Amino acid sequence: MSNRIITISREFGSGGRTVGKKVAEKLGIPCYDAELVQKIAEESGYAEEYIKEEGEYASGGWISTILSDRTNGLTNQDKIWNIQSRIITELAEKGSCVIVGRCADYVLKDKADCLTVFVHASLEKRAKRIVEEYGETDETPEQRIKDKDKRRDAYYRFYTDMKWGEARNYHLCLDSGELGIDKCVEIVAQLY
């Protein structure tokens, strides 16, 4: 495979999704984020909201057991993982692109020419960003961040057996709170 792929992993509220979209736009290549969720939903038969929410939970909890496919022992999350891994691989084979989240860095690690990026920022800067982006809720921004990051960490660890956000697992780690979104975009695009 001669396509160059950029995978963007990110902490909730760090702007990683925005970085991915802007990098793709700057390079003139597709960015798969919500589109990836749509493709997984179409193939799995699950609703997009379910893929967005449940797709980030690690398999093996009591709810997963209840919802498992008893004929082959797979949980819904396992089925989603298998479908998304196949779709990510197909997208990488199809052409150069940016893929946001969904453990794409791991899925493609031995299959594609990847630049793997992790975007992070301080809790304070992420809290400010999620309020600006998504508005207020009953839950504090800090609690929303901690809950989402905890789920992403557990999911990543379960399916990859690696620690999410650990610098050695990525080619590049960027602090969007200090560098700013546009500088992060510039750095990633230059390394492409």
> What is the pTM for the complete model shown?
0.89
Q: What is the pLDDT of residue 65?
A: 42
Q: Per CATH, the architecture of 4-191 is what?
A: 3-Layer(aba) Sandwich (3.40)
Which tokens in the block code for residue 37? 């969720």
Residue among 173, 181, 100 at smallest CA distance from 133 = 181
- Asked if 8 and 76 touch (Cβ cutoff 8 Å), the reply is no
Q: Is residue 8 within 8 Å of residue 100, measured between CB atoms?
A: yes
pLDDT for the residue 59: 59
Domain limits, the chain: 4-191
The whole-number pLDDT of residue 70 equals 45
Answer yes or no: are the C-beta atoms of 74 and 67 closer than 8 Å.
Answer: no
123-134 and 141-160 helices cross at what angle (nearest 10)? 100
Mean pLDDT for back-to-back runs of 10 residues, the chain (192 residues) = 88 97 98 93 91 69 45 80 95 96 94 95 96 88 94 94 95 98 98 92
User: In this structure, what token pair is assigned to residue 45?
Assistant: 């038969």
**CA gap 186, 8 in Å, rounded:** 14
Residue 172, pLDDT score: 98
User: What pLDDT sits at residue 74?
Assistant: 83
